[in-house]
Amino acid sequence: MKYIKWYDDKVADIRVGSQMPAGEGWEEVSQNWKGSIGDKREWFDDKNLIPEAVRIEKGIQKDNRGKVYNINDCTARIITNLDEELKEDETKIAPLVNEPYQKFDKQKNKWVIDTEKKELAEKEKVTAEKRQRLSTIESRLDVIDIRRLRPKEAIADGTATDEDLLNLKRLDDEKASLKIEYGTINELLKSA
């Protein structure tokens, strides 16, 4: 014979034997009884376990199994057990594909593009590109200053050739152009 003991409306113990175990609260069930320790009393109909699909269909058990997503950071986790509740900050709705700037709109119950974050990221990207360009300009200006030394020395000692004069003019023009670009970018960064 098979015997079960309930505690807190759950199967707490199962015993098989020829006679009822000692102590209070034991019930005899049929030999082909199919419950397990931890099963809830409401899952049984006249001591027979109601099939899982029927329990879910009738709302006796909740089925949130599958992938769920954190609405704050889009991270996923897997729910594998029946009756496991979604946390307050979780949804079964999958985030947008290939969209790093999104948020979950609770009122619309869907993921939407977070335009504020997206615009801020774009602005930060442009700012970083401008700073990189400033660094490149500074490096190029240093190179120009070094390259200008030879033609300037040649002019100073009177040995400058036409090529020296042409190189100096070209370097001076490039330097002036880069300084204008540098100033423009710098002003844009200050006003941003």
Q: Average pLDDT for residues 162-167, to the nearest whole number? A: 89
Residues 49 and 76 in one domain: no
Domain around 24: 2-57
- Predicted TM-score (pTM) of the model is 0.57
Handedness of CA 165, 166, 168, 169 (dihedral sign): positive
pLDDT (tens digit per residue) in 104-115: 999 999 999 999
Instruction: Please say whether the beta carbons of 3 and 14 come within 8 A.
Output: yes
Structural domain count, the chain: 3
Return the percentage of the chain with pLDDT > 90, whole number: 55
pLDDT score of 192 more than 70: no
Shortest CA distance to 73 belongs to which of 85, 87, 84, 52?
87
The tens digit of pLDDT for each residue in 42-76 reads 998 877 889 999 999 999 999 999 999 999 999 99
One domain for residues 43 and 86: no
Same domain for 108 and 122, yes or no, is no
